[in-house]
């Protein structure tokens, strides 16, 4: 029995030894490479070193966007014992002034890694530098900082949580800004704590390029503030503005209201974040008349002193009524632009062949994207002449049956007034690396010559006349020569043109004899007025006035006279004698009557255009409401009645009977 027990023990020992030998053979021979790999992976790891994302500056070197190197703290729950968790919760509660239970709940809710605090400022993170606990570790976590909040948000764009550009410059130049990440080999102990870094295995980062924009921060601030002021005054769903150097194509400011703060972009809707300056289209209305007229002059199809009969406000063409906002008789070609006559323009455009007209419109860049280095630009809509009907050319001449973006419009006007050169719009001036070495520098990019210098000179003079004598008067600035054109177009909603909602715009430039800035103001569906002359033009005036005040030396005027272009420009008296019944003279007469202002009495507004009535009421400093469209046929405050700044005058206008669209 004893021998039997002894035999059993010996056999058991032998089997145990065999098992140990087999296990050792498996570990050291069969699975040697695999186990060595797992051991190394546990003790060493390759960590990514994020590259520093490039900064963004304005043209004068003002820092707009930069990075803040924050720290995020995590707990590897598998490495932390209960006492470690409690110690961590206590320390973090002390530093961040939260409860211990708050942090314990975070730790216990995860099975692997729990994030305790995200993007902690480095100065705060220093309070945890000496604190050690099993499972606690930290990672550098950059934060993208947009220094001026919402300023130029549609230009700059934003980055997502992975630091990838999602819109604006951040998206278009994401690769250049991102740089190249590095890596390092880290040795850890059994607790997972970093022991050493293998320097020979470290791959350094390549920081992203810094970008200098063409944007002028001061101009951007002015533009955004005046868009906001305009919306507050006139109402509307949105407002867009662009300022450009017409001689280079460089964009000096670009803004949309509403805008958003890229630091917390997720709070804004997709609609608000959309860059309407290049992603939304509209029918430009009367601002397009200048493009049409430039084509006629460039082909020598009309003269400045030529006269056109404006049919006293209503003209039947191809069985469709074309209407003007106010009655005019005989007008010079220049008067057609100054009075913004649809009828005069529709008659003049018949002189040019459809194919030639299309060529000029296309030449100005319409129907094609401008290639601005910002995402989501659309090309607008320009139909081929083969698909035109017998009314298309006429309606296009005053800004219908064509869809454009504000960016296309301001780019075309730059060519219109700079001598005829169409430049590609620019938003980036240069890029440079971390050592200050210039990697790329933009130069003006001439696309084509659209019109002759002679034609450009004529149009510049005409547009100066629009501000001096015509519908653009509300854009006039004392001591500064401004040119420009108003536009008002009905919005196409639900298959028909609305009589309640309009796009109002003004495209202008200054100084008129040597343009340095060309700009557009577009207000979508204003409430308190609808004309480009009473809404957008005053907004442009405020922008121009503030820019000139800021950079007085750059815009110093050597004389107060109007520009003297090629051709034979007429003086104001000569213009008045050739322009037939000019209804603006009636407005001037009222405004020149000082008794109205000194005695505070209401003038007679009947038989006056809605536009001029609004101008007079605005100058009188009283509130107004408008019913209908066209000439004033009634006013709630009787002529001669006393008024004050609390007075509200409701004017009633003729409702124009229109087939199709109308523009003022």
| Residue 605 pLDDT | 87
CATH 3.90.1310.10 in the chain: give the residue spans: 47-213
CA dihedral 397, 467, 341, 283 (to 10 degrees): 40
Distance, in Å, from the CA atom of 18 to the CA atom of 22, rounded to the nearest integer, reads 6
CB 391 within 8 A of CB 481: no
* Nearest of 589, 590, 614, 572 to residue 470 by alpha carbon: 572
Q: Which residue stretches of the chain have pLDDT < 50?
A: 38, 194-195, 197, 557-587, 655-664
Distance, in Å, from the CA atom of 224 to the CA atom of 153, rounded to the nearest integer, reads 11
CB 159 within 8 A of CB 170: yes
By percentage, how much of the chain surpasses pLDDT 90?
A: 57
Spatial CB neighbours of 82, under 8 Å, sequence gap ≥ 6 = none
| Residue 140 pLDDT | 82
Q: 583-653 domain in CATH 1.20.120.160? A: no
Q: Which residue has the tokens 């951040």?
A: 170
Q: pLDDT tens for residues 489-529?
A: 999 888 888 888 999 999 999 999 999 999 999 999 999 88
Spatial CB neighbours of 32, under 8 Å, sequence gap ≥ 6 = none
| Averaged pLDDT score across all residues of the chain | 85
Spatial CB neighbours of 351, under 8 Å, sequence gap ≥ 6 = 296, 301, 302
CATH 3.30.10.20 in the chain: give the residue spans: 583-653
CATH classification of 47-213, choosing from 1.20.1050.90, 1.20.1250.20, 3.90.1310.10, 3.30.930.20? 3.90.1310.10
Sequence-separated contacts (24+) of 91-97 with Cβ below 8 Å: 91/128, 91/131, 91/133, 92/116, 92/117, 92/128, 95/124, 95/127, 95/128, 96/124
Rg (CA), the chain: 35
CB 286 within 8 A of CB 384: no
Is the model's pTM score more than 0.95?
Answer: no
CA–CA distances in Å: residue 278 to residues 106, 203, 215, 372, 645: 45, 41, 16, 9, 40
User: What homologous superfamily does CATH list for 217-261+274-432+441-577?
Assistant: DD-peptidase/beta-lactamase superfamily (3.40.710.10)
| Residue 576 pLDDT | 31
């Amino acid at each position: 029995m004893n021998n039997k027990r002894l035999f059993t023990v010996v056999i058991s020992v032998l089997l145990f030894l065999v098992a140990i030998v087999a296990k050792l053979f498996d570990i050291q021979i069969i699975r040697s490479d695999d186990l060595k790999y797992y051991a190394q992976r546990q003790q060493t790891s390759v960590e990514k070193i994020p590259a520093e994302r490039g900064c963004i500056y304005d043209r004068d070197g003002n820092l707009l966007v930069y990075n803040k190197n924050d720290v995020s703290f995590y707990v590897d729950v598998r490495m932390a014992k209960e006492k470690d968790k409690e110690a961590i919760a206590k320390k973090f509660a002390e530093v961040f002034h939260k409860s211990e239970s708050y942090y314990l709940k975070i730790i216990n809710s995860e099975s692997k890694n729990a994030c305790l605090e995200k993007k902690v400022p480095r100065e705060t993170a220093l309070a945890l530098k000496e604190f050690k606990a099993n499972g606690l570790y930290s990672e550098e976590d950059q934060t993208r900082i947009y220094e001026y909040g919402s300023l130029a948000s549609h230009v700059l764009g934003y980055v997502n949580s992975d630091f990838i550009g999602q819109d604006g410059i951040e998206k278009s130049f994401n690769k250049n800004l991102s740089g190249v990440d590095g890596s390092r080999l880290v040795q850890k102990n059994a607790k997972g704590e970093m022991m050493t870094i293998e320097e020979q295995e470290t791959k350094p980062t390549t920081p992203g390029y810094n970008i200098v924009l063409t944007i002028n921060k001061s101009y951007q601030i002015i533009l955004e503030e005046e868009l906001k002021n305009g919306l507050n005054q006139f109402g509307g769903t949105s407002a867009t503005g662009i300022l450009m150097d017409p001689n280079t194509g460089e964009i000096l400011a670009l803004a949309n209201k509403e805008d958003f703060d890229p630091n917390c972009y997720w709070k804004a809707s997709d609609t608000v974040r959309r860059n309407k300056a290049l992603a939304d289209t509209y029918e430009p209305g009367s601002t397009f008349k200048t493009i049409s007229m430039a084509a006629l002059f460039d082909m020598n199809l009309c003269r400045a002193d030529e006269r056109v009969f404006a049919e006293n406000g209503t003209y039947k063409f191809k069985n469709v009524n074309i209407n003007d906002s106010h009655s005019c008789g005989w007008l010079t070609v220049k008067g057609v632009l100054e009075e913004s006559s649809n009828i005069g323009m529709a008659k003049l455009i018949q002189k040019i062949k459809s194919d030639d007209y299309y060529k000029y419109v296309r030449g100005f860049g319409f129907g094609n994207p401008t290639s601005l280095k910002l995402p989501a630009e659309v090309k607008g809509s320009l139909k081929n002449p083969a698909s035109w009907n017998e009314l298309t050319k006429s309606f296009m001449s005053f800004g219908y049956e064509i869809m454009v973006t504000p960016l296309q419009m301001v780019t075309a006007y730059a060519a219109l007034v700079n001598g005829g050169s169409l430049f590609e719009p620019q938003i980036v001036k240069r890029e440079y690396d971390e050592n200050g070495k210039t990697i790329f520098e933009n130069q003006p990019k001439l696309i084509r010559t659209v019109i002759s210098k002679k034609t450009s000179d004529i149009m510049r003079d005409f547009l100066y006349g629009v501000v001096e004598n015509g519908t653009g008067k509300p854009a006039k600035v004392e001591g500064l020569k401004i040119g420009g054109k108003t536009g008002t177009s009905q919005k196409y909603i639900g298959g028909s043109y609305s009589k309640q909602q309009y796009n109002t715009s003004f495209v202008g430039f200054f100084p008129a004899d040597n343009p340095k800035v060309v700009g557009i103001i577009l207000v979508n569906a204003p409430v308190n007025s609808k004309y480009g002359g009473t809404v957008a033009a005053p907004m442009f005036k405020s922008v121009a006035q503030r820019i000139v005040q800021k950079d007085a030396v750059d815009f110093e005027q050597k004389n107060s006279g109007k520009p003297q272009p090629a051709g034979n420009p007429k003086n104001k008296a000569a213009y008045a004698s050739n322009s037939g019944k000019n209804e603006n003279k009636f407005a001037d007469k009222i405004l020149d009557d000082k008794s109205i202002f000194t005695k505070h009495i209401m003038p007679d507004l009947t038989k006056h255009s809605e536009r001029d009535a609004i101008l007079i009421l605005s100058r009188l400093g009283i509130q107004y409401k408008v019913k209908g469209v066209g000439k004033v046929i009634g006013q709630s405050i009787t002529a001669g009645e006393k008024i004050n700044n609390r007075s509200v005058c409701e004017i009633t206008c003729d409702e124009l009977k229109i087939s199709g669209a109308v523009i003022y």
